[in-house]
Amino acid sequence: MAFGLMALVWLYGSDWSKGASVFNKPARYIMALPCLLYALRFPPRWSHLLAGITFGAAAGGLRALYDLQVLGLERPWTDAHQSANAIQLGNLSGWMGLMCWLFLLMYWERWDWPRRLLVLGSAGLGLLGSLLSQTRGGWLALVLCALPLLWLLARHCSWQRAGAGVLLILAMALPLGWNFGATLEQRFDWAVAEVLDYQRHGTADNSVGHRLDHGQLAFAMGLDKPLTGWGDAGYVAEKARRVDAGQAKPAVLGFGHAHNDLLDQFAKRGLIGVFGLLVLYGVPLILFLPRRQQHASTAAYAHQDALCVRLTGVSVPLVFMGFGLTQTFFAHYNGVVFYVMMVTLLFATLHGLDRQTARAT
C-alpha cells in the first residue's frame, strides 16, 4: 500500500505535457509490487542477503579508490558533467558499510576470525566509499542512523553490545579520519564558510548556499499552496518567476528539485506529497521495528537472525530520511530502486524466518 500510494503521489502533479515519461517514477514503485509478492512466496536466505550487502560495501570502497587512484578523478563516480552519482552512490556505499558494522556486532560470537576480518574490511571499505565521495550530508545521515541502532541494540541485546558498537565504529573511523583528515577538515571548513557567506551576503552559487536558498524557496512556495502544491510544471515556472522578482538567487534555476525530499514534495505536491513520503518512510519503519517479546532470547540463532534483519530494515528508512535532508534521493533512479528493493528483500526475508520459526515450534 505504501508503494502504491507513492506511485499515485508521483503521478499527482506530474507535467502531463511530457507524455508517457510521467510514468517513469511511478512505474518504479509499481514494478516493486510483483517483486514483493514473488519474494514473499520464495523468501531470500538471510545469509545470501547479508553476503550481498557485505560484497556491496567492499565494491563501493574499491570503486571509489579506483576512480581516485587509477582514473585520477577528484571525486568517485563523477565526470565533467555529472556529480550527483558521487552523492547517491557514496551514500549507499556508506549505508552498506554501516550495515557491516551492525553484522559484526550481532554475529561476533558466531563467526570465526576469517569471517570477522572479511566483514570488518568490507565495513571499512563501505565507509571509505562514503568518505571519498565527500558527501557531507551522507556523513550526517550515517551518524543519525547509527544512534537509533545503538539504542535498539542496547534495548534488545545489551548495553555492553551497544558500547562495543561505539568502540568498533570509533576503531574504524579514527584510521579513516587520520589518513583523510585534510580532506575532512577542508570540507567542513568549506561548509562553515558557505553558511556564513550565505547569511552575510546571500551567496547561493555554492554547495551549501544553493541548498539553503532552495530550502527557503521550496518552503515558501509550499506555504502558498499547502494542500495541492504547484505541480512539476508549476514549480519550474513559479521558481523562475520568483527568481526574476528577486525572491531567490539565480543559482536555484540550475536544479529541478529542492535538494530536500520533504521540501521538494511540499512545494510540488503540497501536504499530499508530504503524506505519501511519510507513509513510505513510516510503514517499513513500523513493520521492522523490533518488539521485545519477539526477541526475548537473542541467544537463539533464529531470534538473532530475525533481530538482525529487523535492525537492517529499520536502518533503511532511517538513513534515507537523513539522505533526504540534503539531497532529493527519491528523484534519482538508484535511490528509488535501492529503497524499494531493500525493503522488499528484507521484509520477505523476515517473513521467511518467521515461517521457519513457526514450523520449528
Q: Over 90: is that where the pLDDT of 47 sits?
A: yes
Q: What pLDDT sits at residue 214?
A: 85
How does residue 201 score in pLDDT terms, banded at 50, 70 and 90? low
Q: Which residue has the cell 582514473?
A: 71
Average pLDDT, the chain: 90
Q: Please list the alpha-helical segments (H only) found in 108-135.
A: 113-133
pLDDT given at position 297: 45
Cα 89 to Cα 122, 168, 186, 273: the distances in Å are 16, 24, 21, 25
Grid coordinates representing 71 are 582514473
By CB atoms closer than 10 A (0-12, 13-18, 19+), residue 112 is exposed
Provide mean pLDDT across the span 131-139. Answer: 90
Per-residue model confidence as pLDDT tens digits over 167-193: 999 998 888 777 777 777 777 777 788
Which pLDDT band, with edges at 50, 70 and 90, does 36 fall under?
Answer: very high
* Domain assignment of residue 59, yes or no: yes
In percent, the amount of the chain with pLDDT more than 90 equals 68
Looking at per-residue pLDDT, the higher value among 174 and 58 belongs to: 58
pLDDT score, position 163: 96
Other beta carbons within 10 angstroms of residue 111's beta carbon come to: 15
In a domain, 228, yes or no: no
Please give the average per-residue pLDDT across 269-277, as a whole number: 97
Residue 82: its pLDDT value, please?
62
Q: How far apart are the first and last CA of the chain?
A: 31
How many structural domains are present in the chain?
1
* Residue 270 domain flag: no
Q: What is the DSSP letter of 81?
A: S
Residue 311 in any domain: the answer is yes
Most confident of 18-27, 87-96, 132-141, 246-255: 87-96
pLDDT tens by residue, 322-358: 999 999 999 888 999 999 999 999 999 999 998 887 7
Instruction: Give DSSP secondary structure letters for 207-261.
Output: HHHHHHHHHHHHHHHHHHSTTT--HHHHHHHHHHHHHHTTSS-GGGGG-SS-SSH
Does residue 326 lie in a domain region? yes
Residue 254 is assigned to a structural domain of this protein: no
Contact of 143 with 173, CB cutoff 8 Å: no
- CA–CA dist 22, 283 (Å, integer): 25
Q: Are 259 and 326 in contact (CB under 8 A)?
A: yes
Res. 296: pLDDT tops 50: no
Distance CA 337, CA 88 (A): 12
pLDDT on residue 80: 55
Question: pLDDT by residue (tens digit) across 143-155?
Answer: 999 999 999 999 9
267 assigned to some structural domain = no
- Considering only residues 40 and 13, tell me which one the structure prediction assigns the higher pLDDT: 40
Question: What pLDDT was estimated at residue 355?
Answer: 87
97: nearest Cα among 73, 62, 69:
62
Domain range for residue 120?
43-179+289-360
Is residue 219 in some structural domain?
Answer: no
Question: How high is the pLDDT of residue 298?
Answer: 45
